[in-house]
Every structure is written in structure tokens, then in C-alpha cells.
Amino acid sequence: MLGLIIGAVLAIVLLIIVAAIIFTYNHLVLLRARIENAWSQIDVQLKRRIDLIPNLIETVKGYAKFEKSVLMEVTNARASVLGAKNPKESGVANSALTGALTNLFAVAESYPTLKANENFKALQEELSSTENKIAYSRQFYNDSVMIWNSTVLQFPTNIIAGIVGMAKQKEYFGIAESERGVVKADFSDLSK
């Protein structure tokens, strides 16, 4: 009789352990799927922005005096985004592209006819909207990565994650070091 009770207790303990392993594994699968979905959302918005850039460049090219170096900067930054192989590289490349587009729009301020061009204004608005969507998607992705990374480090999930090959931490979608600096605003001309 005692052997039967010990066997039943061991079976229950084993069942609880197996259930915990299954639950933890399924939770990891869900978190991984969330990260993949978040990355897909970023990818969709990045593709959308990349697709808008050739139209923007063609619109701007019509203004012969427009600085070719600015157009080359945008084109090269676009190529870097297309060549990025992971979230970290993609983050740095996208920061460079954002900077190049900022320069393009700053130079465009010197060309009133370009600023008044309806196609240019529409593309500028689309790019601005896309930038906002990228920012929201990046935030969701980084939040998902933070949850994943903290989960695979916690006990006992770290043991199960190691056994099933899911212990590797994910990379955040970062920004370039140049974007981390303090923004200097000069308001001295406002008092005039």
C-alpha cells in the first residue's frame, strides 16, 4: 500500500513538472511569435518608406540646382537600410536614412517652388506618417524584446529555455549613437 501511495505522489509530481515545462515552452513560443510579428510590422513600415524614396528623389531631381550630395546621401542611406541584416544594423541604417531625409527637407526649404509642388508635399506627408508608424512599431518591438529577454533569464524558465534552444537573448532595434546626443536649440532669434 505504501508503495502505491509513493508511486501516486511521484506520478503527480512528475505530471506537475511536465505541465510546467509544457506551459513554459508554450509561453516562450508565444513571446517569440510576438517578437516576429513586431519585427514584421517594422519591416512593413520600413518597406513603405523605402518605396517612397525613389518617388521623392525623382520629384526633387526636377530642380536642377538641387544639391546632388543630398540626393546621394539619401540614396546611399536607402541602400544601407536594404542591406541591413539584423535589428541593430537596421536601426543604425534607419537612423542614417532619417538624418539624410531631414537634410533633404531642410535643403528643400530653400526652393519655394519645390515646397509648393503638390507631389513633393504629399510625399513629405507620407514619409512623416510612415516615420510615426515606424516609431510606434519600434517601441512595440523593443517592448516585446524586453519581455523576452527578461523571461529567458528568469528561473526556472532559463533552464527550460536552454533545454529547448530558446535561451538566446534578442537584439533591440537601436538608434545610431549620433541620435543619442543632446539637441541644442537656439531661441535667440525669437526675441527680435
* Domains of the chain with bracketed CATH: 34-138 (1.20.1440.20)
Angle between helical axes of 87-108 and 68-83 (0-180°, round to 10): 160
CA pair distance 161, 27, nearest whole angstrom: 10
Report how far residue 134's alpha carbon sits from residue 185's, in angstroms, rounded to the nearest whole number.
25
Residues 129-151: tens digit of each pLDDT:
999 999 999 999 999 999 999 99
> What is the identity of the amino acid at 9?
V
pLDDT at position 177 over 80: no
Cis, peptide link before residue 112, omega less than 30° from 0: no
Quick one: pLDDT band at residue 190, thresholds 50, 70, 90?
very low
Could you report the per-residue pLDDT of 58-90, keeping only the tens digit for each?
Answer: 888 777 566 778 888 999 999 999 898 888 888
**Percent of the chain having pLDDT more than 70?**
89
User: Could you read off the pLDDT of 150-167 as tens digits, one per residue?
Assistant: 999 999 999 999 999 999
Which residues neighbour 106 within 8 Å (Cβ) at sequence distance 6 or greater? none
User: What does the DSSP assignment read for 150-166?
Assistant: HHHHSTTHHHHHHHTT-
What secondary structure letter does DSSP report for 34? H
pLDDT tens, position by position, 22-47: 999 999 999 999 999 999 999 999 99
Whether 138 and 42 have beta carbons less than 8 Å apart is answered as yes
**Cell triple for residue 180?**
543619442
